[in-house]
Amino acid sequence: MSNSGTARKGAAARLAALAEDSFGGPLPLALRTWDGSEAGPPGTSTVVVRHRRALRRLLWHPGELGLAQAYVTGEIDVDGDLGEALRTMWRAAGEQAVHQPQVTVADRARALRTLVRLGALGPPPAPPASQSRLRGTLHSRARDRAAISHHYDLSNAFYTFLLDDTMAYSCAYWPDRASDTGLAQAQRAKLELICDKLRLRPGDRLLDVGCGWGALTLHAAEHHDVHVTAVTLAEEQATYVREQARARGLEDRVEVRCQDYREPAGDRYDAVVSIEMGEHVGDAEYPAFTRLLHDRARPGGRVLLQQMSRGERAPGGGAFIEAFIAPDMHMRPLGETVTLIEGAGLEVVGAEAMREHYVRTVAAWSRTLEDGWDEAVRLIGEEGARVWRLYLVGGGLAFEQGRMGVDQILAVRPESPAGAGS
């Protein structure tokens, strides 16, 4: 770090002093600003503020959203390991929250003068192109379709690049947690685990609600000789699954419906599955969703949900996730989800936590992204690739620290209202 008087008077020192006043503690990371000045502790990752516009974003959107906007546009970067930098910031934020200072009027006036000197005042910058722009009533069918399309219709070519050959975009499963099995094999183990829990037999009818790129649909049809109805809102996914069914000679066993899960369908199935789709349903709509799963299963039929969970204090995905990745999503503690499933008339017969498996899954996706960075940029642009870098690194950290979880919940529709069958 520079010790010159010029550096001490530069933007980095002013910004560091403002941050330390606001958060009540020393900077956990080094800081370098657009004028070349530096501040903060040596030997750590360095947050690089490339443009004053980043400060304006933070002024208008303090916290996670402003930081995310600045990162994906390249106005802020990290020189060093992004995951370690985020881990350090989370740790420091937790420690400083215990002794958060009382901000006075004089503190606010001093901060405003600093922002004026740094050129941070001005109208809000335009949101990044990659940020979602949803309109309409929350969880209306049109808005849900737009929310799903924002993320899942990004590009089949990109998801083919990122995912393994199963095209499973959900938590994998390592039966032997100490093994070094690759992601594709772990995804197949997850698909087989689900089929086993559902007790699929040749000729059974399976409903796959939120089928993604058909990993489970195709696996169940091909390896368990079942007839699968696959439902998705994403046009790109529906096209891919239909093409794969034709290529594998499974057209007589796979039907793909590009429709809202709420659209009328009176059929009943031997088994119903929903893999990491319940997070998109919405809090108010979830009881109707679980009732639909109950109604689509025949008496004695089995229902399996694989779903992410989060603590009561932060039920959504967070400002970044909701703005850039999965708008309108809602997560809740596992116990609340189980209660809602039981409230729909289903008997919960098992739940398996898979959080540790998601740490490995996301790490594998992140390695693929970094190893093929130039290809990712070619497919979805620099800003899109930066969105995914932040998404995967931040998501992996949330699972690692237990701020998010994922569980498989197995239930049965009772043979009659008075009792349950399995």
Residues 92 and 198 in one domain: no
Q: Is 227 left (phi over 0), alpha (psi -120 to 50) or beta?
A: beta
Residue 217's CATH number = 3.40.50.150
Give which of 369, 412, 352, 411 is closest to 174, Cα–Cα: 352
Residues 176 and 89 in one domain: no
What local confidence, expressed as pLDDT, does residue 313 receive? 61
∠ CA(80), CA(82), CA(87), 5° rounding?
A: 115
Size of the chain in residues: 422
Residues 88 and 213 in one domain: no
Residues 211 and 75 in one domain: no
Range of the domain at 225: 141-412
In the listed set 81, 101, 117, which residue is the last one of a domain according to the structure? 117
Residues 112 and 146 in one domain: no
Residue 12 lies in a domain: yes
Q: Using the 8-state DSSP alphabet, how is residue 91 labeled? A: H
Residue 418 lies in a domain: no
Measured CA to CA in angstroms, residue 281 lies from 16, 34, 138, 208, 311 at distances of 42, 43, 10, 15, 18
| Below-70 pLDDT ranges, the chain | 1-9, 95-104, 147-148, 150, 152-153, 264-265, 313-315, 417-422
Distance CA 157, CA 180 (A): 27
Residues 184 and 314 in one domain: yes
Residue 311 lies in a domain: yes
Residues 104 and 149 in one domain: no
Residues 229 and 346 in one domain: yes
In the listed set 52, 82, 117, which residue is the last one of a domain according to the structure? 117
Q: How many domains does the chain have?
A: 2
Q: Parallel, antiparallel, or unpaired: how do β-strands 76-79 and 46-49 relate?
A: antiparallel
Indicate the pTM of the whole model.
0.89
CB 70 within 8 A of CB 319: no
Residue 131 lies in a domain: no
Residue 372 lies in a domain: yes
Measured CA to CA in angstroms, residue 284 lies from 80, 329, 367 at distances of 42, 12, 37
- Number of helices (H) and strands (E), helices first, in the chain? 16, 11
Residues 48 and 110 in one domain: yes
Q: Using the 8-state DSSP alphabet, how is residue 127 labeled? A: P
Residue 132 lies in a domain: no
Residue 422 lies in a domain: no
Residues 195 and 79 in one domain: no
Residues 231 and 295 in one domain: yes
Measured CA to CA in angstroms, residue 51 lies from 35, 36, 48, 383, 388 at distances of 9, 11, 9, 16, 22
Residues 113 and 158 in one domain: no
